[in-house]
């Protein structure tokens, strides 16, 4: 049994009538979160993640994304900031910060605004896996998602080696 298999199928339980803290659950070792307020961009990102071999949960707003993050153990997250400004982008940036600071091994990719140097510096200082400015439908996102799967497998194998 691999590290991912043994650590990802967690169930929520209660003991002696006391409610337990929320526990992250996952039905697959390869769960991907996609967060975008744009339906067309959600569809584009979903297609790429699916082609890359990920089971995907798609969220259209930051509140829904936060709920899913609390419930599911994601290994890849793609947050789309493109085309938004003001409160919407700030809410989505907060989701990015939650993903990176969650303490989990979540590869976080941010689709950002092309030419926004401040945003790129912010993303890199945050410690995201990828910052992708100006991503469009013609870009090969499926290969990036496939590469993310390979990285997750390598992380799992290295953790198995450490445990032995």
- For residues 90 and 142, the model is more confident at 142
Angle 56-43-79 from CA coordinates, rounded to 5°: 65
Of the pLDDT bands very low, low, confident and very high (cuts 50, 70, 90), residue 10 is: very low
> 28-163 belongs to which homologous superfamily?
Response regulator (3.40.50.2300)
Q: Quick check: 13 and 22 in contact, CB under 8 A?
A: no
Query: Tell me: the pLDDT tens digits for 29-71?
Result: 799 999 999 999 999 999 999 999 999 999 999 999 999 999 9
Query: Tell me: the pLDDT tens digits for 107-132?
Result: 999 999 999 999 999 999 999 999 99
Q: What is the pTM of this model?
A: 0.80
Query: Tell me: the pLDDT tens digits for 144-154?
Result: 999 999 999 99
CA atoms within 13 A on the CB side of 80: 24
Backbone angles phi, psi at 7, to 5 degrees: -110, 0
E runs forming strands in 66-113: 76-80, 107-112
């Amino acid at each position: 049994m691999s590290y991912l298999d043994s650590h990802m199928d967690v169930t929520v339980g209660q003991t002696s009538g006391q409610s337990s803290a929320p526990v992250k659950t996952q039905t697959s070792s390869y769960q991907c979160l996609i967060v975008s307020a744009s339906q067309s961009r959600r569809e584009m990102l979903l297609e790429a993640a699916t082609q890359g071999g990920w089971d995907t949960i798609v969220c259209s707003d930051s509140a829904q994304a936060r709920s899913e993050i609390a419930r599911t153990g994601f290994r890849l997250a793609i947050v789309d900031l493109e085309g938004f400004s003001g409160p919407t982008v700030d809410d989505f940036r907060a989701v990015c910060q939650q993903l990176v600071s969650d303490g989990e091994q979540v590869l976080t990719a941010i689709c950002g605004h092309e030419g926004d140097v401040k945003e790129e510096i912010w993303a890199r200082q945050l410690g995201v896996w990828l910052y992708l400015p100006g991503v469009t439908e013609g870009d090969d996102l499926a290969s990036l998602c496939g590469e993310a799967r390979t990285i997750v497998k390598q992380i799992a194998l290295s953790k198995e080696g450490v445990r032995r």
